[in-house]
């Protein structure tokens, strides 16, 4: 196998899960707009010089675990959007640690609780985290996010069990919290 073939192989991933894949120039600011690239299931080709986001819908913990296994082969995927995957629980997100290179993670409206926040601790590179409408997370769970020191944006809109007392415990310079 020559170098070009290896490079091409490194820039693909295959999944049997329906996903949408988005792209933007590598090094774009976190939160920048994504442009649609492709959709699966199937083999997804990831052009060089770009970074990628994957959006999956209607996942369960079991299908999330399979998707994580598929994405683990593509470190160019820096953003994962699981918004409104109401059947994704703490058990499913426990497996996200296999993707420590993520810088953006959207878990809005997933079925997460305070104990699930422990599963986010390995994400040292995380810049944007969306937990909006994860309405079973309380101040106790929120405090577990304190060691995500690179986090620049945290969305807690609709998290009805988080109050000002919890927000004060994680507020710091450089972190924008949307509540």
**pLDDT tens digits, 131-175:** 999 999 999 999 999 999 999 999 999 999 999 999 999 999 999
What's the confidence (pLDDT) of residue 103?
96
Report domain extents, the chain: 3-178
The pTM assigned to this predicted structure is 0.92
**pLDDT tens digits, 11-61:** 899 999 999 999 999 988 877 899 999 999 999 999 999 999 999 999 999
Q: Which fold has domain 3-178?
A: 3.80.10
Q: Which two tokens stand for residue 112?
A: 């997460």
Closest by Cα among 50, 105, 106 to 74: 50
How many residues are listed for the chain in this entry? 179
User: Percentage helix, strand, coil, to 5, in the chain?
Assistant: 25, 25, 45
Query: Distance between CA atoms of 179 and 91, rounded to whole angstroms?
Result: 26
Q: Which two tokens stand for residue 11?
A: 């820039």
């Amino acid at each position: 196998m020559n170098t070009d073939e290896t490079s091409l192989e490194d820039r693909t991933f295959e999944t049997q899960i329906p996903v949408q894949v988005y792209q933007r120039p590598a090094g774009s600011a976190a939160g920048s707009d994504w442009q649609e690239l492709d959709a699966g299931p199937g083999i997804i080709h990831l052009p060089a010089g770009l970074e990628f986001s994957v959006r999956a819908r209607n996942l369960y913990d079991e299908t999330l675990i399979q998707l994580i296994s598929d994405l683990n082969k593509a470190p160019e995927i820096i953003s994962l959007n699981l918004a409104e995957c109401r059947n994704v629980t703490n058990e499913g997100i426990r497996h996200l640690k296999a993707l420590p290179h993520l810088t953006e993670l959207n878990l809005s409206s997933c079925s997460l609780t305070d104990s699930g926040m422990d599963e986010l601790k390995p994400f040292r590179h995380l810049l944007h985290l969306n937990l909006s409408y994860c309405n079973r997370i309380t101040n106790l769970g929120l405090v577990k996010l304190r060691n995500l020191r690179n986090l620049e944006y945290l969305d807690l809109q609709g998290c009805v069990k988080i109050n000002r007392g919890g927000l004060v415990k994680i507020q710091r310079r450089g972190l924008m919290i949307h509540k």
